[in-house]
Amino acid sequence: MFAVLATLYLLAEEPVQNHQQQDCCLIVEVHSPDEIDNQWVQQTLENAIKEEFGKGLTLWSVNEDEAFQYLETDPDATMGALNLSKNVSAIWNLARIV
């Protein structure tokens, strides 16, 4: 039997700077089994983002359309990946704010 995967999209409430010191929107796409507690996912992700970017950020849940609107404005967005656990992974994108 296969677990059903859920995809969550989260957006940082404040801009994050990329390596060129440009203000960017942080968008995170999380893939996890459907039965995993979303609060645990969000808290674990916020902790991992703090380690990755050196500052604590509050993440807000958005739908897929909203997430892709941000990504469409910067097709060359910086990307990275985080493994939150054996079954939960996240892809983050820094899309320049234009």
At residue 4 the predicted structure's pLDDT band, cuts being 50, 70 and 90, is low
C-alpha 78, offset from chain centre? 12
Count of all residues that appear for the chain in the document = 98
CB atoms within 10 A of CB 69: 14
Specify the 3-state DSSP secondary structure of 39. helix
Domain boundaries, the chain: 5-96
Specify the 3-state DSSP secondary structure of 42. helix
Q: Is the pLDDT of residue 3 over 80?
A: no
Are 84 and 71 in contact by the 8 Å Cβ rule? The answer is no
pLDDT digits (tens, 9 = 90+) for 21-73: 999 999 999 998 888 888 888 899 999 999 988 889 999 999 999 998 888 88
Specify the 3-state DSSP secondary structure of 79. strand
Total-model pTM: 0.85
Amino acid 1: pLDDT: 46
